[in-house]
Structure 1
Amino acid sequence: MSVRFDRVSVSYGSQTVLDAFDLAVEPGEVMALLGPSGSGKTTALRAVAGFVTPASGRVLIGGRDVTALPPHKRGIGMVVQSYALFPHLRVDANVAFGLKARRTPRHETVERVARALEMTGMAAYARRYPRELSGGQQQRVAIARALAIRPEVLLLDEPLSALDAALRSAMLTELARLHRELPDLTILYVTHDQIEALTLADRVAVMDSARLKECGTPLDLHRSPGSEFTASFVGGANLLPVSVSGGTVRFADAELQLVAPGLTDADTATLCVRPHRVGLGDGPNALRGTLAEVQWRGATHRLVVDVAGHRVAADVTELRDPPAPGTPVTVHFAPQDAVLLTSGPVREVARG
């Protein structure tokens, strides 16, 4: 089932928390709404759920305008951060709650509860209370409850934020498996964690300050971000001020070679290159500077190099004996690994 935000705005008093939000989610797609706290992503989700009323614009589900419909008539399931399980009900009763509210026949309720628990790996815990479950298990029960009503749209509001790193990784795998089993289920996934968004989503809508900044596939947003905000928020990046003149790009004293067709002259622009694409030593697009900082990150060392007063980060693998801070060093990057950013409108990256 498709979901469409048609220039949806939401305000609380004089504060606009969602500003002319325009986004189309395709049937069966996993769309992540990614952004920092206060970016408007949860408000967008609540507008789909019917928990907030837009000041302007429309919300459409399956092409039908549901802006004025109450939540229970929208055919959606929702999982929130706190899971919101009823502590006095066993797992199976929690999962059956929505079905009973819809007056689903008892035999059908039993079948749907059993199926939802099986899909989420919680069938063996049907008779336990929430207090007898781990955080990850409670999260699975909340998802099972949302799936039991057989929604066409599933809304997930930072469902993994309360889990530790190991559980979060495991649950991402489970959510991906779940969507493979339910390919027609459309999922809107709100998160501030870029790893969750990049791992799970077909497309990512990057939000900030109540507005949509950019939307595209995880790969496109990571390789070719369209703005400095996206570059820094999705994956982290070196953002270096450069000048463009006569088709030549310069940073500090270095003339750079880029794969950037159609360059036009500009007083300044911003070069984006990911730290894992920056190597140590001579090579194409060599930048010479002084090592300012060394951070060991397990699989890599992050070297932070001062180049003409700008910090350039390089994530280097298999570096047994990193140079000491204060050492003159050279770093480099390949022409195809850098993107030149200029200001412009919100970019919609084609799916693929």
Structure 2
Amino acid sequence: MGIRLDGVSVSYGGTTVLDSLDLTVEPGEFTALLGPSGSGKTTALRTVAGFVRPDSGRVYLGGRDVTDLPPYDRGVGMVVQSYALFPHMRVERNVAFGLRAQGVPRNEVASRVTEALEMTGMGSYARRYPRELSGGQQQRVAISRALAIRPKVLLLDEPLSALDARLRAEMTDELARLHRELPDLTVLHVTHDQGEALTLADRVAVLDRARLREYDTPRALYDRPRTAFTAGFVGSANLLPARLEGDRVRVCGLELPVSPEDLPAGTADGAGLQVCLRPHRIVLGPAEHTLRGTVTDLSWRGSVHHLTVDVDGRSVTVELAGHRTPPGPGGAVELGFDRDDAVLVPAGEEP
């Protein structure tokens, strides 16, 4: 069952939180809604669930207009950040709650509960209370409860944000496994964590200030962002001011050759641009193109050295993996990169 939001707008007290959102999630696809706090991603999810009524636009599930249907008639499962487990109920009763609300025959409930708990590796915890479980285990129970009703659409509202780093990594792997094992299940996942979005999603919708900025595969958003916002939000990026001069772009004293397909749509000669360079794509020493600067900061972060370099008054971040003796503050360095690693985006954000 696919999801389609057609021109959906939502306002609270005169403040627009979703602005004419058009979004299509294909059946069986895992889509992440990624954006900063206040970007509208949770409102979009709750609109699909039926907890928010749009001011304008329509919501479709499997081609059916569900805009006017209550949540319990939409056939979707939902997992929220707080888990929302009933503390006085054992795990098996928590998972059975939705089934009983739907009127599933009593003799079928037990088998459906067992099936859902086994999917998340919680089969041996059926008789425990939520207080007897870790945070990761409670989240697995919440996912089991959502899956027990056998939804065609699963909505995840930042379900991992309350977990520590280790548990978050484990649950990310768990969600990836469920996506592989339930290929017909459509998933819409709200997160502000770039790693989750890039790891789990087939496609990522990047929202900012109530609007959809970009919607593409994780690889495309990371390697070839089309806006400065996406470049800076999806992973880390150096954004250097540049200017188009004929078939060249001038940046920090360098001239980079460009072809029409390299340029943002509608770029005119003489226009200002930004060059996006990912920190890990930069090497120390000469390469196809080389910037020269002075190290202003150096820190070791386990697997990489993190350098900050002043280049013509601009701060450039570099991540060096396995470099034994990076220069310290005050050291002169050459920063090399390949032309294919320099992506051009518009100089200013969209209004």
TM-score, scaled to structure 2: 0.96
CA contact (8 A) 1:257 1:285 kept: no
Question: Secondary structure of the residue that 1:83 maps to in structure 2?
Answer: coil
> Which moved further from structure 2: 255-264 or 237-246?
255-264
CA contact (8 A) 2:153 2:187 kept: yes
- What is the aligned partner in structure 1 of residue 314 from structure 2? 310
- What is the aligned partner in structure 2 of residue 73 from structure 1? 73
* RMSD over aligned Cα atoms: 1.5
In structure 2, what is the Cα distance between the partners aligned to 1:112 and 1:262? Answer: 53
> Which moved further from structure 2: 174-183 or 220-229?
174-183
> Which moved further from structure 2: 298-307 or 188-197?
298-307
Segments of 4+ moved more than 4 angstroms: 257-260, 343-346
Matches within 5 A, 1:143-158: 143-158=143-158
**C-alpha displacement at 1:251, in angstroms?**
1.2
Matches within 5 A, 1:1-352: 1-257=1-257, 261=261, 263=263, 265-342=269-346
Q: Which runs of 5+ in 2 are unaligned?
A: none
Call closer, same or farther: CA 1:156–1:239 in 2, change over 3 Å.
Answer: same
- What is the aligned partner in structure 2 of residue 349 from structure 1? none
CA contact (8 A) 1:260 1:340 kept: no
Call closer, same or farther: CA 1:267–1:343 in 2, change over 3 Å.
Answer: closer
In structure 1, what is the Cα distance between the partners aligned to 2:262 and 2:111? Answer: 60
CA contact (8 A) 1:291 1:327 kept: yes
**C-alpha displacement at 1:343, in angstroms?**
6.5
In structure 1, what is the Cα distance between the partners aligned to 2:107 and 2:305? Answer: 59
Amino acid at match of 2:43: T
Amino acid at match of 1:124: S
**C-alpha displacement at 1:222, in angstroms?**
0.3
In structure 2, what is the Cα distance between the partners aligned to 1:314 and 1:45? Answer: 36
CA contact (8 A) 2:227 2:349 kept: no
CA contact (8 A) 1:8 1:18 kept: yes
CA contact (8 A) 2:229 2:349 kept: no
Question: Secondary structure of the residue that 1:286 maps to in structure 2?
Answer: strand
In structure 1, what is the Cα distance between the partners aligned to 2:258 and 2:298? Answer: 28
CA contact (8 A) 1:240 1:270 kept: yes
CA contact (8 A) 1:276 1:315 kept: yes
Question: Secondary structure of the residue that 2:103 maps to in structure 1?
Answer: coil
Call closer, same or farther: CA 1:319–1:9 in 2, change over 3 Å.
Answer: same
In structure 1, what is the Cα distance between the partners aligned to 2:11 and 2:139? Answer: 31
Aligned length: 346
In structure 2, what is the Cα distance between the partners aligned to 1:343 and 1:57? Answer: 32
**C-alpha displacement at 1:345, in angstroms?**
10
Deviation by residue 1:268-298 (Cα, 9 ceiling, x = unmatched): 1010110000111111210011111112111
In structure 1, what is the Cα distance between the partners aligned to 2:276 and 2:177? Answer: 34
Deviation by residue 1:92-136 (Cα, 9 ceiling, x = unmatched): 000000000111101111110000000010000000000000000
User: What fraction of aligned residue pairs are identical, expressed as a percent?
Assistant: 64
Amino acid at match of 1:251: V
In structure 2, what is the Cα distance between the partners aligned to 1:287 and 1:180? Answer: 44
In structure 1, what is the Cα distance between the partners aligned to 2:135 and 2:218? Answer: 28
Deviation by residue 1:133-180 (Cα, 9 ceiling, x = unmatched): 000000000000000000000000000001111111111111111111
CA contact (8 A) 1:292 1:306 kept: yes
Amino acid at match of 2:25: V
Question: Secondary structure of the residue that 1:266 maps to in structure 2?
Answer: coil
